[in-house]
Amino acid sequence: MARVKHESRWYPLESEESVLDGLLRQGVAVPNACRAGACQSCLMRALSGEIPEAARVGLKDTLRTQGYFLACVCKPVAGTELEVAGADALRVPARIDSLTLLSASVLRVRLSTDAPFDYRAGQYVSLLRADGLARSYSLASLPREGLLELHVRLIPGGAMSGWLAREARVGDTVAVQGPAGSCFYVPGHPEQPLLLAGTGTGLAPLHGIVRDALESGHTGPIWLFHGARTPEGLYLMDALRELAARHSGFHYRPCVLTGGSRDVAEGALDVLIRAECPRPVGFRAWLCGDSGMVLSLRKKLFLSGLSLKDLHADAFLPSAPRVEPVGAR
């Protein structure tokens, strides 16, 4: 059996139980969302004890050296004694600056932070409500713009998206934690062709990356594919068309499964990509949004010749069902 100490109390873990599940089960509140090692909402810090390497995969070196780990995938070997603390030090207070619908199902949330928030366009953050509810959102803004911009898809019954759509008010205080992720533009190869593909609010990080690349003077072709089920799922079309009109190397290709038109292609996203970019060898690519789409497209692009080191993907994993503390209700 492993034991975890949190705020001067010891909590035993069952075999194969993660630190997150063990703490939640015994009534300790720890922010969390995907519980699959991706969203980084459940970051905690080890004050003492051995952390398995699997719980630190994908963390920046600066976080590793400070002892941070992902509680949801941390399963200490039997006999381990761990002393842990929350990640409060990584959270930055922020205020809701504006809430604007970009389409019937996408809400733009702008946040202002008191201290400058250091990130690369395209990375994601955990948004924390005052009560600890946490969800990951990608940044659509550029660092020079000051405000942080999120595109939140409104999900029926969604805890965070529902709160943002109905109850949150301009001026409300929240917190952001991060940034995380490797979906961002890397200067140094201005002529490399770029391929960006996303479904739904997967457009958020891509919009940031495209503008970052253009502002950095990228000269190679840039392809942006935005997929949705129906035309109602597309948004920012005018802004992107205008951007394409100003930059001849930037190609914007919206696409829907049904209801296509002269300006919007109809069909599967991967088919459209294959038609426009038949041989993506030597490209750099970013894939964001629905996890099924991201994973299958990543595999297809890899098989058609893209190098793994040039493939960046953020799967928008949904939150996992809550763990109720023992004895609740």
Partner 1 sequence: MSTAAQEKSVYEQIGGEPAMAAAVDVFYRKVLSDDRISHFFEDVDMERQAAKQKAFLTMVTGGPSNYSGKDMRAGHAPLVKRGLNETHFDAVVEHLRATLEELNVPAPLVERVLSIAGGARADVLNR
Ligand X SMILES: Cc1cc2nc3c(=O)[nH]c(=O)nc-3n(C[C@H](O)[C@H](O)[C@H](O)COP(=O)(O)OP(=O)(O)OC[C@H]3O[C@@H](n4cnc5c(N)ncnc54)[C@H](O)[C@@H]3O)c2cc1C
Residues in contact with ligand X by CB under 6 A are: 33-34, 38-39, 124, 135-138, 151-153, 155, 157-162, 201, 204, 314, 316-319
Among 173, 216, 261, 307, interactor with partner 1 by CB under 8 A: 307
Instruction: Give the span between the Cα atoms of 318 and 310, in whole angstroms.
Output: 25
Is 90 exposed, middle or buried, given 0-12, 13-18 or 19+ CB atoms closer than 10 A?
middle
> How do strand 250-256 and strand 222-228 relate by DSSP bridges?
parallel
Report the partner that residue 101 touches, choosing among ligand X, partner 1, none (CB closer than 5 to 8 A by kind): none
Min dist CB 327 to partner 1, Å, is 34
163 near partner 1, judged by CB under 8 A: no
Which residues within the stretch 267-306 sit at the binding site for partner 1 (CB under 8 A)? 295, 298-299, 302-303
Report the partner that residue 32 touches, choosing among partner 1, ligand X, none (CB closer than 5 to 8 A by kind): none
Min dist CB 155 to partner 1, Å, is 22
Which C-beta is closer to partner 1: that of 33 or that of 311? 311
Which C-beta is closer to ligand X: that of 111 or that of 277? 111
Instruction: Give the span between the Cα atoms of 277 and 253, in whole angstroms.
Output: 12
Half-sphere exposure of 60 (CA within 13 A, CB side): 11
Single-letter residue type at 145: E
328 near partner 1, judged by CB under 8 A: no
Which C-beta is closer to ligand X: that of 34 or that of 46? 34
Which C-beta is closer to ligand X: that of 76 or that of 205? 205
Which C-beta is closer to ligand X: that of 33 or that of 277? 33
Q: How many helices (H) and strands (E) does the chain have?
A: 7, 17
Which tokens in the block code for residue 255?
A: 């696409």
Q: Print the SS3 string covering 183-231.
A: CCCCCCCCCCCEEEEEEHHHHHHHHHHHHHHHHCCCCCCEEEEEEECCH
Sign of the four-CA dihedral 228, 231, 234, 238: positive
Min dist CB 155 to ligand X, Å, is 5
50-89 footprint of partner 1 as x/- string (CB under 8 A): -------x--------------------------------
Residue ranges with strand state E in 76-123: 81-85, 91-103, 106-113
Q: Binding residues for partner 1, per CB under 8 A?
A: 57, 295, 298-299, 302-303, 307-309, 311
